[in-house]
Amino acid sequence: MVFFYGQSHKILKTYSDREFLCENCNSPQLDYIVRQKYFHVFWIPIAPVDKYAGIYCNNCGLTRKQIYSKNGAAYIKKTRTPIYMYSWLILIGLLIAYAVINSSLT
């Protein structure tokens, strides 16, 4: 039996920030990209692991996958984890609830 599992990430939200300048081209056109890392089985998310922020410059294309700044931390805190990131846990919980209810009725 083939069993596909692993870790992946999903872009949750992009925030435009004109407060800081790009370190490469000194342009104020930076976007903060908040990503959610999660475990998956058969490409269906089981549970979220970590949330992190990166930057992307719209002018020169400079990308930093992970950054540590006050703005990045604020955007991470502001962005909520979607409910579908818990889909396997919800499915298992529903199956357990169904089994308990079904066994109590018989």
Amino acid letter, residue 35 = R
Burial class (CB in 10 A: 0-12, 13-18, 19+), 27: middle
Predicted pLDDT of residue 106: 66
- The reported pTM is 0.73
**In which order are the strands placed within the sheet that holds 44-57?**
5-17, 30-41, 44-57, 63-64
Segments in the chain below pLDDT 70: 68, 106
Q: What are the angstrom distances between the C-alpha of 68 and each of 73, 82, 87, 91?
A: 7, 23, 29, 35
C-alpha 23/C-alpha 50 separation (Å) is: 26
